[in-house]
Structure 1
Amino acid sequence: MRQSMTGFAGAAGGRESLRWTWDMRGVNGKGLDLRIRVPDWIDGLEPGLKAAASTELTRGNVTITLRLQGTGEDTGLQLSEPFLAIVLDAMTKIEEQAMGRGLSLAPSTAAQIVGLRGILDASATETDTKALCTQLLSEFAQVLDQFIAMRKTEGQALQTILSSQLDEIDALTRAAADQIDARRDEQGQKLRAALARVMDNTEGADPQRVSQELALIAVKADVTEELDRLRAHVDAARDLLDQPGPVGRKLDFLMQEFNREANTLCSKAQSAPLTRVGLDLKTVIDQMREQVQNVE
């Protein structure tokens, strides 16, 4: 099933002395970029999360956040005095340098400082980090399933949108072909006039250069190849949408080809109706390319 790179999942859990919340978010990206924010005192948690996510995901900028807090005064988190001193020293230096440059910083509150990573240390109250890590990884498997389910739901919606846009491109390509048939007589007259101008100025000219000019005039008036390639690209895109697994990169490349043919069609149009069709094509192609950016 087609997947989007956009998704969200969350969960909450806990044990005797701790409560925690999971937050997993994803947006589009060229490759897979995992950003994991978890307490560093839980040995093995970060590599375990990375391995689990990498197995199921292939593309997207994905952030995984785990927030922990104590359940009471006796078992709660403890203030990390050494880390607090480092943070306060850094804040003092930042404020001094800002004042030296004439900048005024808003004062920090105690709540903001406590919320910084490392200020509150749970490692002193949790001795069995191996069991905790196992429990967290087990819970994360459910979070990951929820995240993937949302991406599949988004992906199904994307597939419907992209299929509709391909139908539009196909219809506009057929409309362009109709416009070519309608302008055939007019285009023939323009071509004959252009050829006549060339032939009237061939005295003393290089025969090979004359042949090249005549061929160039004919090529500039013919958009048959562009329409054929647009039809081929529509078929290729539909085939990709029917394929299992990630196809986002291939679709993105195909959108560049779509755009190239639409640009060429507009440059060769030589008639207002055909130009309008070409511009409509470019609009739909741009809209489709925006959607393709979210396909895994």
Structure 2
Amino acid sequence: MKSMTGYGRARMAIDGREISVEVRAVNHRYLDVNVKCPRAYNFLEEALKKAAGERIARGKVDIFVQIIGNSTDDVVVKVNIPLAQHYLTALRSLSEATGLANDVSLLTLAKMPEVLTEEQAEPDTEKLTQDVVSVFHLAADEFEGMRGREGEKLADDVRFRKQTIIGLLEQVEARAPQRTVEYREKLEKRMQELLSDTTIDAQRILTEAAVFADRTAIDEETVRLRSHLSQLEQMLCDDKPIGRKLDFLVQEMNRESNTIGSKANDVTLSKLVVELKSEIEKIREQIQNIE
């Protein structure tokens, strides 16, 4: 089980470039990948989003890319021949007009403004994309490791809450039959007070107690809740993304606990149900972090 939050970073020098990739993620209902890189490298975005989608199922993911080029291969020197010829013609005219020697050299001409210009070469986008994606995967390895460690902590906490719920459920199941016995005794006592001079109809008391027991029966709810807890443990052992499934399962657990609470009709049971719902809510809060 993995957490949705995590961080990873990798840096590598490839073909004279220093490539740095950072991966950060926080909770999100779906997968939302944002790539942030220098404008000149916007062509990397699609490939990085695809690579992220192959490794991450859910979360708001930010990928930061930095590329520092140290290679002279990235620079192209261009010669403006027409401009150089204009300079040369102008210098010849100046020599003739002034009577000075025309001693223009190649170096002199090359130093004239805009004759030689430097431009950034167009990168090999396919090769650079492969290089950046390879560095991304190194960062993603560290990112996944952190998410896995956080996921283990979340799983341990959920298991602890699950065991607490099982303990509370055992108390609920033990209390439920006693509640019916106490109701029957209370009903018999009230009838004795009201009908002190009249013979009490024991059959009527049994019938009333049976109706009460049927109306407040929680056997089905406790069985389903135990089934949900069993499914919870199975999901925690799954190596696939389970966040959404867990969210749905906890909703069902909460529904069963609400039904038990509505049928409680007993102070002790009501208190147990409050504790039960509190633990389920704590699980719900934790699984919001699970991929």
Q: Give the Cα separation in 2 of the matches to 1:181 and 1:239.
A: 31
User: How far is 1:14 from its partner?
Assistant: 4.8
Is the 2:37–2:65 contact (alpha carbons within 8 Å) kept by the matching residues of 1?
yes
2:250 aligned partner:
255
SS in 2 for 1:4: coil
Structure 1 residues not aligned, in runs of 5+: 77-123, 195-212
1:101 aligned partner:
none
Q: 2:286 aligns with which of 269, 287, 291?
A: 291
Is the 2:2–2:290 contact (alpha carbons within 8 Å) kept by the matching residues of 1?
yes
1:41 aligned partner:
40
1:8 aligned partner:
7
Q: Give the Cα separation in 1 of the matches to 2:61 and 2:189.
A: 61
Q: 1:159 aligns with which of 155, 161, 165?
A: 155
* TM-score with structure 1 setting the length: 0.68
User: How far is 1:39 from its partner?
Assistant: 2.6
1:227 aligned partner:
222
Q: How does 1:109-128 map to 2 (within 5 A)?
A: 125=120, 127-128=122-123
* TM-score with structure 2 setting the length: 0.69
- State the identity as a percent: 33
Residue type matched to 2:159 in 1?
S
Residue type matched to 2:3 in 1?
S
SS in 2 for 1:64: strand
Q: How does 1:1-296 map to 2 (within 5 A)?
A: 2-14=1-13, 19=18, 21-42=20-41, 44-68=43-67, 125=120, 127-130=122-125, 131-189=127-185, 218-296=213-291
User: How far is 1:287 from its partner?
Assistant: 0.4
Classify 1:126/1:271 alpha carbon distance in 2 versus 1 (closer, same or farther; 3 Å).
farther
Classify 1:47/1:163 alpha carbon distance in 2 versus 1 (closer, same or farther; 3 Å).
same
Instruction: Deviation per CA, 1:214-267: give whole Å up to 9, x if none.
Output: 998555421222211111111111121122311111111010111111112222
Residue type matched to 1:254 in 2?
L
User: How far is 1:42 from its partner?
Assistant: 2.4
Q: Give the Cα separation in 2 of the matches to 1:59 and 1:193.
A: 60
SS in 1 for 2:33: strand
Classify 1:216/1:55 alpha carbon distance in 2 versus 1 (closer, same or farther; 3 Å).
farther
User: How far is 1:190 from its partner?
Assistant: 5.9
SS in 2 for 1:270: coil
Residue type matched to 2:23 in 1?
M
User: How far is 1:65 from its partner?
Assistant: 1.4
Q: Which has the larger radius of gyration?
A: 2
